[in-house]
Amino acid sequence: MRFSQYSAWNDFMIKSYGQDIEEAIKQGRNLVMEKYAFMMEFTNPQYYKSELEPHLPVIDLETMNMVEEIAWYMVDCEKEIAAKYPKLANSGRPIEARGDITGFTSVETYAKGELKTYSKNTLRLYLDYVRENRAAGKNLALKVQEEMVKMYGYASIEDAENKL
């Protein structure tokens, strides 16, 4: 489903994230492992603090502020989708971190975990893109969902909602 996520990104974001991956490989970092470890800050805080945090990159305040703003935009977008397409929304992850349960992580927690693995450049580009879309009244999560339901064989997001 990565394709649906990246299909909503602009070319600058894609290029920057590609550079993030190349840099991570050079440094011997595993971004997928880091993402899931960062998610455990919310899903298993004690284990995260004692076993994982000491081995992860330190997230500075500037990065954390960008992560938070992007994640909250994504949460707001998902809430908007849930209001319009409740069946579709109920078939996916909980939206907010307070809905986290073992083995089923919220959109918010998943986003924060992943965003913490992005470089500052990618985060800046993403944040600019989020702000542009918000100002234009666009919902990036809707773009992702529209692509995803097509990949599952539905004609549209409305078709998926009606058939669920």
Q: Which residues pair with 104 in a beta bridge?
A: 101
Nearest to 125, CA basis, from 3, 9, 34: 9
* pLDDT per position as a tens digit, 74-100: 999 999 999 999 999 888 888 888 767
Model confidence at 20, pLDDT cuts 50, 70, 90, reads very high
- 30-47 pLDDT, tens digit per residue, is 999 999 999 999 888 999
- In this structure, are residues 126 and 111 in contact, taking their beta carbons and an 8 Å threshold? no
Is there a contact between 19 and 102 (Cβ–Cβ < 8 Å)? no
Structure tokens at 38: 């960062």
Integer CA distances (angstroms), 75 to 7, 15, 27, 85, 155, in order: 19, 25, 32, 15, 25
pTM: 0.90
Q: Place 155 in a pLDDT band, splitting at 50, 70 and 90.
A: very high
Query: What's the structural domain count of the chain?
Result: 1
Contact between 74 and 108 (Cβ < 8 Å): yes
CB 151 within 8 A of CB 3: yes
Write out the residue range of the structural domain in which residue 128 sits. Answer: 2-163
